[in-house]
Amino acid sequence: MMPRGASPTHAISLDGRRHRMTRVRSAALFVGCFLVSTYGIGIVGRLVLPSPDVGELTLKIHAIEQETDPIDTIAVGSSRMLHAFDPARFDRAAAAAGCPVHSYNLGIGGMNLIEMRYVLRTLAAHHAQPITRALFDPPNDIHIQFSNLKSQRVWVTTDPREASLAVADILSHPDPRKYSSLARYLIAFLYHNSALGLASRYLEPAPPTTEATAFPARGYQPLDPEAKPSVERIGLLNDHDRFVRIARNLQNEAAEQAEPAPIDPAQESRRITVVRTMAESIRTLGYAPILLSLPDTYGEAITDARQLAAAFGRPDIAIPAVNFMDKADAGVVYDKGSWYDWAHLNEPVADYLSAAAGRRLCQTYGPAFASAAGK
């Protein structure tokens, strides 16, 4: 009924407003229920359903079964580890120093912190024994490419149980693109933890079972500068003069002949916390963590590695650490001929690092470093 004194126009406008409000309420109800439903199903589904096997990350774990001698040491990390850690050289050098070990390179291209934790959890589930230690290189920052948004690796990275660590890791990197990385992670997180694509991962036909692939050189992939160059190597060769200048500066920084690249103390503190969390999670899985800071080609990496080594040497943390961006190695690792491309060392330098790692770990940590199998 029209209120007394109200004109018909007023009544129509009231009616129209009421109608609009009803529409807005309906739309809000729809959107609200949609979000609750899609994220409820998505997150509960991820927590309850068994995670699918991500072949790209677990292939090497299955390959360990092909090894005739039992592996007791694994080296885990991104492509830097993949191309820089030669298990055979490492074992020989450690044995010569009195610590016999048998290692395997679990480096995987582009691996980030969350993927590394996934790999180690899967490894622990498959090979509880006799692996006793894990050498790890602080991995790449989490920077999701949208072209890979729907991939299984991004699915692993956006595990809601790992969300706080993933965000902490992104914010801990001294990389100017970290806010872009955070936005990308958020979008990927929203995608992978919604109902979209959740059950379909389990509805797809299982891929045909294939024989476990055996990796030559125990997972190590050397980069030969004499072989046909990769796209990345061509990039370095084209930019050679600039690279030589940068390598010289880095060499001076590492050799402590130049000021280190500054990192905000609060950020470095976050970084140490993240890497320490990683080390603690390795320990929780039953492996002794060893930090292996492999060289990188930006100044902050040198500062970061130095501060990580110092922090890990503190009695409250006490985790073995080897830093290859220090004074002792600066001449070798930042020689202009040491690098295959902007991120990876070539084979002779990888030989040097692997042998140096084996020798130093044995000399620094003594018989405690020798494997039970080797004793």
Q: Does 38 bind other proteins (CB under 8 A)?
A: yes
Measured from the CB atom, the residue of 42 and 320 that comes closer to other proteins is 42
- In sequence order, the 6+-apart residues with CB closer than 8 A to the CB of 293 are 137, 138, 305, 308, 309, 321, 322, 323, 324, 325
CB of 24 to other proteins, least distance (A): 11
Q: Which of 16, 32, 52, 235 binds other proteins (CB under 8 A)?
A: 32
CB of 179 to other proteins, least distance (A): 24
CB of 138 to other proteins, least distance (A): 31
Measured from the CB atom, the residue of 99 and 144 that comes closer to other proteins is 144
Q: Does 269 bind other proteins (CB under 8 A)?
A: no
CB of 56 to other proteins, least distance (A): 15
Report phi then psi at 140, rounded to 5. -60, 155
Measured from the CB atom, the residue of 35 and 96 that comes closer to other proteins is 35
Q: Does 194 bind other proteins (CB under 8 A)?
A: yes
Angle at 347 between CA 345 and CA 351, to 5 degrees: 100
CB of 19 to other proteins, least distance (A): 9
Measured from the CB atom, the residue of 1 and 206 that comes closer to other proteins is 206
DSSP 100-151: ---EEEEE-TT-BHHHHHHHHHHHHHH--SS--EEEE---B-----GGGTTS
Query: Omega before 130 cis (within 30°)?
Result: yes
CA distance 352 to 333: 9
Q: Which of 10, 17, 18, 25 binds other proteins (CB under 8 A)?
A: 25
Residues 236-245 as b/e (b if ≥16 CB within 10 A, e otherwise) read: beeeeeebee
Q: Does 30 bind other proteins (CB under 8 A)?
A: yes
Q: Which of 24, 31, 217, 244 binds other proteins (CB under 8 A)?
A: 31
Site for other proteins in 102-161 (CB under 8 A): 150
CA distance 109 to 82: 7
Residue 315 to residues 55, 136, 181, Cα–Cα distance (Å): 39, 20, 34
CB of 61 to other proteins, least distance (A): 24
Binding part of the chain for other proteins, among 61-69, 165-173, 202-210, 310-318 by CB under 8 A, reads: 202-210
Q: In what order do the strands lie in the sheet with 321-323?
A: 103-107, 73-77, 133-136, 288-293, 321-323
CB of 25 to other proteins, least distance (A): 8
Binding part of the chain for other proteins, among 81-89, 191-199, 282-290, 322-330 by CB under 8 A, reads: 191-199
- In sequence order, the 6+-apart residues with CB closer than 8 A to the CB of 221 are 82, 83, 105, 107
Residue 270 to residues 41, 131, 267, 304, 305, Cα–Cα distance (Å): 33, 30, 5, 11, 14
Task: Count other Cβ atoms within 10 Å, centred on residue 165.
Answer: 19
Measured from the CB atom, the residue of 25 and 336 that comes closer to other proteins is 25
Binding part of the chain for other proteins, among 80-88, 197-205, 256-264, 358-366 by CB under 8 A, reads: 197-205
DSSP 185-205: HHHHHHHHTSSTTTTHHHHSP
Report phi then psi at 154, rounded to 5. -70, -35
Q: Does 200 bind other proteins (CB under 8 A)?
A: yes
Q: Which of 14, 17, 26, 235 binds other proteins (CB under 8 A)?
A: 26
CA distance 19 to 294: 65
Measured from the CB atom, the residue of 34 and 179 that comes closer to other proteins is 34
Residues binding other proteins: what is the number (CB under 8 A)? 31
Site string for other proteins, 58-97 (x = CB under 8 A): ----------------------------------------
Interface residues with other proteins (CB under 8 A) are 22, 25-27, 29-42, 45, 150, 194-201, 203-205
